[in-house]
A and B are shown apart, each in its own frame.
Chain A
């Protein structure tokens, strides 16, 4: 694997040099490898959004560096907009930003702005849609006639069609029902798998994070609180609770079982792994009345 993103000593102060100065990020350093899915968690006001805004140059560091694909993104400040083709940002409720007459035109908007036209543009749109399972017949509908989940997928596809090497999504599944949520998660995984892209996801939903993230980056009061594999972060439930976060519910059930004096492992974060463990343990003990 090779490093795609490095954040070095990033500090950001809003309203610097005024009485309202507020430091939102303090000396953040971390790096992300190609092809990883990294979850960014932390309670409201912990600096998640400020951090994400730096990754594609929407915000400029007060000090520190953002290095994407080996290059400091602020080396040539006048060309900062170029970074947006490398790092694609999907905001919360992206479907509110759909505006074109057809899904096709909406998805075309990003790549067109990158200078694509004609067949190249057409191929790009179809290729991206195919990779993330957006059906062809959807392309000629008005985005406003789609269901909530479909709208969300189309809006995300519009960013994916720019083929960013790093895709950053802010709460991509918020407000969706379970079916919609699963299809968005699948789409994100498909994008990563097809293009070996890196994905960073801001979310409050620990259960979904357990499903999708390879690593978790935990923010607290503008500082990097933890950065480790999902497994290692969720093994430290006590540390998470100290800052108002928690482990997935199924892990809390397992924790209670352990507190009752039963020996259970500390790496169960999904319903599937819990069921597998409980049934196998019970069989060993002869507890299942088959």
Chain B
């Protein structure tokens, strides 16, 4: 499998106009994203994760170092449109991403701006809405939909542009638990069934459990990189940088202090229950 995104020695700084100080957000970061993979980037507020997201599709260009999308450097201005077509973005607040007053017009906004002909646009809009199960709402007004539904419309708008990769920056932060689950389900489906490379940025660890790879970002540096189970079992590290761990992990970890045999490399509720039964010899009555 080849890489769709490559970041090489990337640093990014913000300059404060009123003071002389510069703030370094990303520090000499190296990262490759494999085509077709599902990567989750975890970090608390201010860890640099949103900045990293914007570096992936050229919304920001590195202060030093390079980001390549399909081998094209994001610094090349003439390729800027091409890069944004390859890597689509979905942001936190659905209300900020919806431009039209009718759902299907909103989804058509992207492809129309790419100069796609009306027939093809129609096809893409229908397909995109069906992918997120919002086809029956195509003639509704977005502001009458729930937060989760609006976020699905925003995702449909990105899918209609047929990107190879979608970066989602805390897409569930403003949703309720049901809306959150829905969005994660569709994101996983896009990766599995449509083969779209997914980069999901979040601070909800539960959302990372089905990812191929989890990267933990703190203070602009990658401090951990691996499979979800391996990352989550290091609860002390995650808590020390202010991240949430799933309650199942927290439970197992607290139990491990009482009984060293407890395996903490588990996330799902079912497996946690089984582990507790076997480690503590709980018996049927």
Contact = CB atoms under 8 A, between A and B. Distances in A.
A44 interface: yes
User: Which one of A179, A253, A262, A274 has the greatest number of beta carbons of chain B within 10 Å?
Assistant: A253
Interface in B32-60: 44-46
Interface in A25-68: 43-45
A147 B45 CA distance: 10
Interface in A155-196: 175, 177-180
Interface in A258-282: 260-263, 271-272, 274-275, 278-279, 281-282
B23 interface: no
Interface stretch (A102-110, A130-138, A223-231, A241-249): A241-249
Contact of B247 (A180, A204, A271, A281): A271
B76 interface: no
Contacts of B272: 253, 256
Nearest to A256: B273
Contacts, number: 106
B251 A274 contact: yes
Interface stretch (B82-90, B111-119, B236-244): B236-244
Interface residues of B, number: 40
Contact of A257 (B146, B147, B175, B273): B273
A141 interface: no
Interface residues of A, number: 40
Interface stretch (B9-17, B132-140, B223-231, B254-262): B254-262
User: Which one of B146, B259, B282 has the greatest number of beta carbons of chain A within 10 Å?
Assistant: B282
A-B residue pairs, 8 tightest by C-beta:
A287-B281, A256-B273, A249-B247, A282-B280, A177-B242, A261-B284, A263-B285, A177-B44
A279 B255 contact: yes
A252 interface: yes
A148 B46 CA distance: 9
Contacts of A244: 178
A139 interface: no
A282 B285 contact: no
A249 B178 contact: no
A285 interface: yes
Contacts of A21: none
Interface string B188-226: 000000000000000100000000000000000000000
Contacts of B44: 177
A183 to B, nearest CB: 12
A278 B239 contact: no
Contacts of B239: 178
Given A282-B280, A288-B258, A253 B248 contact: yes
B145 to A, nearest CB: 10
A249 B239 CA distance: 18
Given A44-B148, A275-B251, A288 B280 contact: yes
A249 B244 contact: no
11 contacts: A43-B176, A177-B45, A249-B246, A252-B269, A253-B276, A257-B276, A261-B284, A263-B285, A271-B251, A278-B280, A279-B259
A24 to B, nearest CB: 14
A207 to B, nearest CB: 6
B65 interface: no
A275 B279 CA distance: 13
Contacts of A248: 247
A257 B277 contact: yes
B250 interface: yes
A262 B255 contact: no
A6 to B, nearest CB: 28
B179 interface: yes
Given A44-B148, A44-B178, A148-B46, 5 more contacts: A44-B147, A178-B239, A204-B176, A257-B276, A282-B259
Interface string B161-188: 0000000000001011111000000000
Contact of B251 (A43, A175, A250, A289): A250
Contacts of B285: 261-263
A249 B242 contact: no
Given A275-B258, A287-B282, A207 B243 contact: no
A179 B247 contact: no
Nearest to B92: A175
Contacts of A252: 269
Contacts of B45: 148, 175, 177
A285 B258 contact: no
B253 to A, nearest CB: 9
A177 B282 contact: no
B283 interface: yes
A274 B176 CA distance: 26
B251 A253 contact: yes
B20 interface: no
Contacts of B250: 271
Nearest to B252: A253
B243 to A, nearest CB: 7
